[in-house]
Amino acid sequence: MSVPIEDLPSPNYSSREGTPITLVVLHYTGMPSAEEALDRLRDPEAGVSSHYFIEQDGRIVRLVDEKDRAHHAGLGAWGPVRDVNSASIGIEIVNKGHLWGYEDFPDLQIDALIGLMTEIYRRHRLGPLAAIAHSDLAPARKDDPGERFPWDRLAASRLAIGQWHPGEDPPPPDYDDSLTQLTEIGYGLDRSFPVPAVLAFQRRFAPRLLGQALSPATRQAIRWVHGQVIAERLRPGP
């Protein structure tokens, strides 16, 4: 059964120009209220948008059709993808964020997100690693949807949406190998100052390690996720 969706079109979109959809980028709204966030995403002067907007009660709003390019990612990259907007579907999830009172994401909201993403994944034949955080593609600028976001629930869904480090403990790689593995996972980083990328990785895959720098546990998590990424890339296509 399809997820119920309300259409409130935004004027802020452009053409994908034939770029295939390979990513789904998750954001939090990061504003004092849902109403303000929705107004901004539909304001032609602001110029920003997303494909979908999910309220805390689970209501889903479609702002931009999936065939079109929403303006949600901004500057950033993920692996070889440099124009993330053209290659992705953007989903804004209502949450005040770190500046306005960061809070847990309600179950109704996450249930709705999983239902929506299940349909998106099936439509576009996406693999588990297609889902990324806004902070993944722009670790020096963004920290959403943040360390409270329940990636573990998405990973436990029927299609294993997104990847999640379960806390296993393989031997940690050394410092330089960890930076290389972060790059191969997809993070853009400055090796002389990798802190933003490390924090983004911890928020996305191992929030219990947030702020621990490249500790042995963080390096163990990097190695595990790197292994999943390589396995996914080697898996035959549909």
Number of domains in the chain: 2
pLDDT at 193 over 60: yes
pLDDT tier for residue 49 given thresholds of 50, 70 and 90: very high
Nearest residue to 23 (alpha-carbon basis) of 70, 86, 74: 86
Phi then psi dihedrals of residue 88, to 5 deg: -135, 165
Q: Quick one: tokens of 147? A: 């360390």
One domain for residues 30 and 105: yes
One domain for residues 9 and 112: yes
110 in any annotated domain: yes
Beta strand residue intervals within 13-67, DSSP E: 13-15, 23-28, 52-54, 60-62
25 in any annotated domain: yes
One domain for residues 70 and 150: yes
One domain for residues 38 and 98: yes
User: For 63-116, how does the pLDDT look when each residue is reduced to its tens digit (9 = 90+)?
Assistant: 999 999 999 999 999 999 999 999 999 999 999 999 999 999 999 999 999 999
Return d(Cα 203, Cα 161) in angstroms, integer: 17
Return d(Cα 219, Cα 221) in angstroms, integer: 5
225 in any annotated domain: yes
165 in any annotated domain: no
One domain for residues 91 and 152: yes
pLDDT at 166 over 80: no
User: For 112-125, how does the pLDDT look when each residue is reduced to its tens digit (9 = 90+)?
Assistant: 999 999 999 999 99
Query: Taking the model in full, what pTM does it have?
Result: 0.88
**For helices 216-234 and 175-185, what crossing angle results, to 10°?**
40
Mean pLDDT for 153-174 is 74
162 in any annotated domain: no
Return d(Cα 125, Cα 130) in angstroms, integer: 10
Phi then psi dihedrals of residue 52, to 5 deg: -135, 160
Q: What pLDDT is stored for residue 158 in this prediction?
A: 74
Final residue before a domain boundary, out of 94, 126, 157: 157
One domain for residues 34 and 143: yes
Query: What is the CATH classification number for the domain harbouring 58?
Result: 3.40.80.10
73 in any annotated domain: yes
Return d(Cα 52, Cα 67) in angstroms, integer: 13
- 106: Cα separation from own chain's centroid: 18
pLDDT tier for residue 127 given thresholds of 50, 70 and 90: confident
Contact criterion met (CB below 8 Å) for 175 and 187: no
58 in any annotated domain: yes
Phi then psi dihedrals of residue 211, to 5 deg: 90, 0
Residue for token digits 């770029």?
A: 19
Q: Quick one: tokens of 168? A: 């296993």
Angle at 147 between CA 145 and CA 149, to 5 degrees: 55
One domain for residues 42 and 88: yes
One domain for residues 85 and 189: no
Q: What pLDDT is stored for residue 164 in this prediction?
A: 65
How do beta strands 13-15 and 68-70 pair?
A: antiparallel
Domain that holds residue 230: 175-234
